[in-house]
């Protein structure tokens, strides 16, 4: 017997214990770290301000769009938003909403991003938005040269760049143009949710996005008004002192108190929470339940179990999952109660009606009008000829709610329908089915000209490009 055998065995054992390490999910070899240079042009985009199948508006998160390349357009605009009842604030936006739309994707996906700076486009009837200015886009989900991809572009310019998602998580995006603080506090932010390559380890019944942020506002020193209400503008003194006037979830003071997020008893709710700041910390808590899981920064590798609260600095995030134990309204708060009292409160409630329809509906404020002249003509025509039987986003009347109609039907179909509904009702299966649904009341031919039909279509397309909202 070899006297070295025990030694050799010991050596082999030690070696064996080291070898079978699991592959690193973040191995550099699995990543794309060679993004192509950004492109800046003077092409001006004229269509919808936000485009892409991966985008969700409001708190309800759409399921993952399976395509590996996600085309995302978020144009910058200047507009008046209502951050609390009657409080009209002169905001700067991505995609014409605050927060901007949520992008949902998966590790390995490529984001093909395009943005036109449209801060110089006049808002009809409103002459009080901020002067046009430079803007930019900074995606925390990307690994790219900031000097190339995040450069500022002038009004009328378009920037395009792409990047691959290397890490899962909930990542902030924001404007990075100086003064960054002012651009963020004016509304230029949103979330990118990147699922792990193989999905989440749990199955959720509901998925919501909650973005917390602060507003720092004061009445316009020039005393301008919007629809009779005083206009509010950024208060830069408060901003620099970190003294917000409002701290809110999803852009609206107590917004999800008025319109609670629905959930049923026994359901597992997955909530992606991003604290934008720009300057405050959030102590996120849901009264009445416990976070079964907390994935800090939205990455299941950073897991905590059984937590009451998760602490989020500016631009930190977490995916939290919790069960709804019994009937009730579970209260989301920033447990820094000074922040909650400024509006960072919302409800997840078993008492709401099934909201799917309501949430898909477009609560377009009466003050919002299209900018395209054809769409404006379409709106006027619609209001005089069609409102007897149709609504926009307020449910079915004698005929269907037209919000979403361009998603249900093709342009050709709608054109034929508006031209000759009686003929369609005889020849087209979808039209016949619709007639049945609407109590066999045939829509009378409205004797529309081709021009009018084109205008209605433009208006319908504009409606469907508006972000739906939960408030």
Residue nearest to ligand HEC (CB): 399
Residue nearest to Cu ion (CB): 175
Residues 326-385 that bind ligand HEC (CB under 6 A): 382, 385
DSSP β-bridge partners for residue 138: 174
Binding-site residue total for ligand HEC (CB under 6 A)? Answer: 27
Based on CB atoms, which residue is closest to ligand HEC, 78 or 458?
A: 458
Helix (H, G, I), strand (E, B) or coil at 359: helix
Cα 216 from Cα 239, distance rounded (Å) = 6
Among 64, 435, 464, 471, binds ligand HEC (CB under 6 A): 435
Cα 335 from Cα 413, distance rounded (Å) = 52
Cα 256 from Cα 130, distance rounded (Å) = 28
Residues in the chain: 471
The answer to whether the CB of 132 falls within 8 A of the CB of 120 is: yes
| Minimum CB distance to ligand HEC, residue 438 (Å) | 4
Using CB under 6 A as the binding rule, whether residue 399 contacts ligand HEC is answered as yes
| Minimum CB distance to ligand HEC, residue 374 (Å) | 14
Residue whose token pair is 């060679």: 34
Cα 119 from Cα 186, distance rounded (Å) = 13
Using CB under 6 A as the binding rule, whether residue 408 contacts ligand HEC is answered as yes
135 binds, among ligand HEC, Cu ion, none (CB under 5 to 8 A by kind): Cu ion
Cα 180 from Cα 135, distance rounded (Å) = 10
CA atoms within 13 A on the CB side of 362: 18
Binding mask 188-207 for Cu ion (x = CB under 5 A): x-------------------
Based on CB atoms, which residue is closest to ligand HEC, 17 or 447?
A: 447
Using CB under 5 A as the binding rule, whether residue 79 contacts Cu ion is answered as no
CA atoms within 13 A on the CB side of 368: 20
Residues 171-200 that bind ligand HEC (CB under 6 A): none
| Minimum CB distance to Cu ion, residue 137 (Å) | 9
Helix (H, G, I), strand (E, B) or coil at 357: helix
| Minimum CB distance to Cu ion, residue 425 (Å) | 50
Point out which residues bind ligand HEC (CB under 6 A).
382, 385-386, 388-390, 398-400, 402, 405, 408-409, 414, 417-418, 421, 434-435, 438, 441-444, 446, 448, 456
């Amino acid at each position: 017997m070899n006297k070295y055998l025990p030694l050799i065995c010991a050596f082999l054992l030690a070696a064996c214990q080291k070898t079978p390490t699991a592959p690193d999910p973040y191995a550099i070899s699995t990543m794309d770290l060679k993004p192509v240079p950004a492109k800046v042009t003077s092409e001006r985009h004229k269509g919808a301000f936000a485009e892409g199948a991966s985008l969700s508006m409001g708190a309800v998160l759409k399921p993952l769009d399976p395509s590996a390349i996600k085309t995302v357009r978020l144009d910058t605009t200047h507009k008046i938003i209502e951050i609390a009842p009657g409080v009209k604030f002169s905001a700067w936006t991505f995609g014409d909403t605050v927060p901007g739309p949520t992008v949902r994707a998966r590790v390995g996906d490529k984001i093909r991003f395009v943005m036109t700076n449209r801060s110089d486009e006049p808002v009809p009837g409103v002459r009080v938005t901020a002067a046009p200015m430079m803007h930019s886009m900074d995606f925390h989900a990307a690994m790219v040269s900031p000097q190339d991809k995040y450069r500022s572009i002038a009004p009328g310019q378009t920037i395009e760049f792409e990047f691959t998602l290397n890490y899962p998580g909930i990542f902030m995006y924001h404007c990075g143009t100086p003064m960054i603080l002012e651009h963020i506090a004016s509304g230029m932010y949103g979330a990118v949710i990147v699922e792990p390559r193989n999905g989440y380890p749990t199955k959720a019944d509901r998925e919501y996005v909650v973005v917390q942020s602060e507003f720092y506002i004061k009445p316009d020193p020039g005393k301008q008004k919007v629809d009779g209400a005083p206009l509010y503008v950024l208060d830069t003194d408060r901003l620099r002192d970190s003294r917000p006037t409002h701290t809110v979830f999803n852009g609206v003071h107590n917004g999800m108190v008025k319109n609670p997020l629905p959930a049923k008893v026994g359901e597992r709710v997955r909530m992606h929470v991003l604290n934008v700041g720009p300057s405050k910390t959030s102590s996120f808590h849901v009264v009445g339940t416990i976070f079964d899981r907390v994935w800090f920064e939205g990455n299941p590798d950073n897991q905590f179990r059984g937590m009451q609260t998760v602490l989020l600095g500016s631009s930190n995030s977490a995916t939290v999952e919790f069960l709804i134990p019994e009937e009730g309204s579970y209260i989301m708060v920033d447990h820094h109660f000074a922040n909650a009292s400024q509006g960072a409160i919302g409800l997840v409630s078993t008492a709401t009606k099934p909201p799917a329809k309501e949430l898909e509906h477009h609560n377009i404020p009466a003050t919002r009008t299209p900018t395209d002249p054809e769409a404006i003509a379409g709106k006027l025509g619609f209001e005089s000829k069609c409102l007897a039987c149709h609504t926009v986003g307020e449910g079915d009347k004698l005929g269907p709610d037209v919000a979403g109609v361009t998603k249900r039907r093709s342009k050709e179909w709608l054109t034929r329908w508006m031209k000759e509904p009686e003929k369609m009702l005889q020849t087209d299966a979808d039209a016949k089915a619709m007639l049945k649904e609407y109590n066999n009341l045939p829509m009378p031919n409205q004797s529309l000209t081709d021009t009018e039909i084109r205008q209605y279509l433009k208006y319908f397309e504009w409606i469907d490009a508006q972000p739906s909202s939960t408030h």
